[in-house]
Amino acid sequence: MPNSPTEIARVAQTARGFLVDWDGCCAIDNQLTPWAAAFLRTHQARTAIVSNNSSNTIDDFLVVLRKSGVQMYRNQIVLAGVEAIDRASLAGQVEVMVLGDPRMRAVARNLGIRLNRDEADIVVLLRDTRFSYSRLERAANALRKGARLILSNPDLTHPGSEGWIKPETGALLAALGSCVDLDKVDVDVVGKPSPALYLKACDALELGPEDVIMLGDNPATDLAGAQALGIRSLLTRADAPEVFETLRQVVGG
């Protein structure tokens, strides 16, 4: 994995497009860093955001980007939460329990998904900041009865401002796993390191995996998933401008 300016420059010179993570890479608490914003403004036409975020909608992202002068199309923003709900919608007329932000349940309703907080054929687990004992109990018993689990992403945490730890969907999964044997559950992992988000982002840019570079802060998800597809990757953090600034020097800006 390249980490020196020379190695970053060598890799970047052959890149035709970029896939970038969001939380902890481009943004902290949904605020773009100045260096990430500058990079995205320069390369907005050949960059896609590939994020395990499951609390926000594509419209939320577009608002944040536009405030920093970044103009992207909807298909350039690929989010694990939105994709998880889309996947549940493909199951047809079944009962679905969505553990997540109210705005994500609204996305599900708009897709015609039949939401049921008590009995479910599918449990969609997102980053639910209102997760409670009651929700854990209902979800665990739905899985015990044979419900399928669609997991937006396996991350345990993501970084907040001033080093604050933000519990992620994987932490909620661990709570479920303490109640039921997940080895006996049909679990569908949507987000990174699974390949679906990367491939959808490549399609949006009309590029192959060999043509892009993935920028992310989590080796276990962002980089591992990229490398499994033959996508070159760079490790960076939202509080470290070096990678974004080196890329801007090499490929323009």
Do residues 94 and 87 make contact, with C-beta atoms less than 8 angstroms apart? Answer: no
Confidence of residue 129 (pLDDT cuts 50, 70, 90): very high
Judgement on whether residues 198 and 74 belong to the same structural domain of the protein: yes
Note the pLDDT of residue 240: 86
Of 189, 209, 243, the one marking the end of a domain is 189
Q: Which of 144, 160, 189 is the last residue of a domain?
A: 189
Residue 252 has what pLDDT? Answer: 62
For 180-195, what is the mean pLDDT? 98
Count of domains for the chain = 2
Check pLDDT > 70 for residue 78. Answer: yes
**Same domain for 34 and 100?**
no
**Are 99 and 143 within one domain?**
yes
Domain co-membership, 210 together with 169:
no
Q: Which residue has the higher pLDDT, 76 or 237?
A: 76
The Cα-based distances of 143 to 63, 149, 150, 216 in angstroms read 36, 7, 11, 32
Residues 6+ apart with CB under 8 A from 119: 95, 142
CATH number at residue 103: 3.40.50.1000
Q: Are residues 21 and 48 in the same domain?
A: yes
What is the H or E stretch that residue 177 is in?
helix 169-177
* pLDDT-based confidence at residue 88 (cuts at 50, 70, 90): very high
| Residues 24 and 71 both lie in one domain | yes
Cα gap 126→53, rounded to integer Å: 9
On whether the CB atoms of residues 99 and 133 are closer than 8 A, the answer is: no
This prediction's pTM:
0.94
Tens of pLDDT, residue by residue over 153-182, are 999 999 988 889 999 999 999 999 999 999
Q: Among the three residues 189, 208, 235, which one is the final residue of a domain in this structure?
A: 189
Average pLDDT for 82-107 = 97
Same domain, 100 and 150: yes
Asked if residue 114 and residue 47 are part of one domain, the reply reads no
Same domain, 85 and 176: yes
Q: Tokens representing 46?
A: 């050949």
Both tokens of 109, joined, read 């309703």
Statement to judge: residues 134 and 42 lie in one domain: no
Taking CA 11 as the corner, what is the angle to CA 8 and CA 15, rounded to the nearest 5 degrees? Answer: 125
Burial class (CB in 10 A: 0-12, 13-18, 19+), 230: exposed
- Structural domain harbouring 19: 5-79+193-251
With cut-offs at 50, 70 and 90, classify the pLDDT of residue 8: confident
- 242, two tokens: 């070096």
Residue 39 and residue 58 in one domain: yes
Average confidence (pLDDT) over 122-151: 98
- Residue 217 to residue 20: CA distance in whole angstroms: 10
State how far the Cα of 15 lies from the Cα of 207, in Å rounded to an integer.
Answer: 10
Question: pLDDT at position 3, please?
Answer: 64
Based on the fold, state whether residues 142 and 92 are members of the same structural domain: yes
DSSP letters along 60-107, please? HHHHHHHHTT----GGGEEEHHHHHHHHHHTT-S-EEEEES-HHHHHH
